[in-house]
Amino acid sequence: MLALLQKNQDTFLSTREISQTLDVHPYVVYQAIKELRRWDFKISSEKGKGYRLLETPDFLLPSEIKRNLKTKILGKNILSYHTLGSTNQLGFRLAESGAGEGTLIVADEQTKGRGRMGKSWYSPPRLGLWISLILRPDIPPFKAPGLSICAGLALAQAIGDLTGMDAKIKWPNDCLINDRKVGGILLELSAELDRINFVIAGIGANVNHLPKDFPKKLSSVATSIRAERGKEVSRIKLLASFLQRFESIYLDFKKNGLAPQRRLIKRFSSLLGKKVTVRFGKEKIEGVAEDIDDNGSLVIRTRKGKRTMRAGEVTVV
Ligand code: BTN
């Protein structure tokens, strides 16, 4: 129905024409119009003429996402929800029951958005990109952190594509603009010791929040693309650009590992050359962030020598 209205945006289509073309009862047409309006599609209706689509919202419907997409794998299968607990949680369940590589789960709002380290992820409706991808890379589990960096890199690149802004990646999984967090990656694995069954790559990006849209405790650390740019951003376009960027990095990563991406990763990194503290469990390591190695680990030069960190929370001092 939407495709039909989109194809005929310069004319009115009567209920009869629509119901005949789609071979559905006129009541179904009426219901579908009602549903589209509920999703914020602006549809004009005139007596005797029918319906005409005036405006398509920046809504993450599969048909809208697909219209903007040129990828081969990522997003070939899309599930889009108004509200979900967590796209990662659903992604995990779907992957367990066999959903294919590249399946994309999108939610306009998450009520139980998950962040790293058991934290929650603030995911209000309309404002962000809350998505998960099911991936089935044939790599050993210890290489998976590299994927998180790849996703962060793709997000930073996509922000750059759309806005020209200089987004950065903060190891291991944050995406920053002007030193504030604009996005994060949560990778969840189902694996055996030496092989991955599947990965759920969860990506959260604060897109169109105004500063007042953040809860108080986030307002000094988090930002959105719109808040930094001063102008709204199309979530659909951002998603398309992200998937495009991520697909090309991901396909290369599966074949050649992280090494070919290192030059770019280092260029986009917000930490290299800076004095940092890395906390991992009870450990606290201080030094200068020197490199990101082929496994995606952060190399720190400490007073006692080099330390390679697989995971951790970094603060710039
Ligand atoms: C972080 O802590 O920085 C990672 C945040 C990841 C949030 C995204 S939003 C989509 C996906 N579903 C979730 O529940 N979490 C991830």
Per-residue pLDDT reduced to its tens digit, 199-239: 999 999 999 999 999 999 998 999 999 999 999 999 999 99
Cβ count within 10 A of residue 272:
18
Token readout for 56 is 């398509």
Instruction: Work out which ligand 1 atom sits closest to the CA atom of 174.
Output: 3
User: Does residue 280 contact residue 272 with C-beta atoms inside 8 Å?
Assistant: no
Pocket lined around ligand 1, Cβ cut-off 6 Å: 86-88, 110, 113-116, 119, 121, 123, 130-132, 173-174, 184-186, 202-204
**Residue 131 three-state SS:** strand
Angle, helices 15-22 vs 26-38, to 10°: value is 100
How far lies 251's CA from each of 155, 166, 216, in Å?
Answer: 16, 25, 40
User: Does residue 41 contact residue 53 with C-beta atoms inside 8 Å?
Assistant: yes
- What pLDDT does residue 38 have? 87
How far apart, in Å, do the first and last CA atoms of the chain sit?
56
Beta-bridged to residue 314, according to DSSP, are: 278
Q: The dihedral of CA 125, 108, 96, 195: what is its sign?
A: negative
Give the mean pLDDT per block of 10 residues along the chain (317 residues): 92 96 96 91 94 90 88 96 96 97 97 95 96 96 92 98 97 95 97 94 98 94 96 95 98 95 95 95 94 93 94 92
Residue identifier of the C-alpha nearest atom 3 of ligand 1: 184
φ, ψ (nearest 5 deg) of residue 113 = -55, 135
Give 113 Cα–ligand 1 centroid separation in angstroms: 6
Looking at this protein, which amino acid is placed at residue 80?
S
Cβ count within 10 A of residue 305:
8
Instruction: Work out which ligand 1 atom sits closest to the CA atom of 86.
Output: 14
CA distance 184 to 174: 5
- What pLDDT does residue 87 have? 98
φ, ψ (nearest 5 deg) of residue 250 = -65, -45
DSSP assignments along 111-129, one per residue:
SS-B-GGG-B----TTTEE
Task: Judge residue 70's burial from the number of C-beta atoms within 10 Å of its C-beta, 0-12 exposed, 13-18 middle, 19 or more buried.
Answer: exposed
Give 115 Cα–ligand 1 centroid separation in angstroms: 5
| This model's pTM is above 0.85 | yes
CA-wise closest residue to 267 among 159, 153, 185: 153
CA distance 165 to 184: 17
Cα Rg, the chain, nearest whole Å = 22
Looking at this protein, which amino acid is placed at residue 163?
T
Q: Each residue of 48-87: pLDDT tens digit?
A: 999 999 998 888 989 889 988 999 999 999 999 999 999 9
In terms of DSSP H, where are the helices of 180-234? 225-229
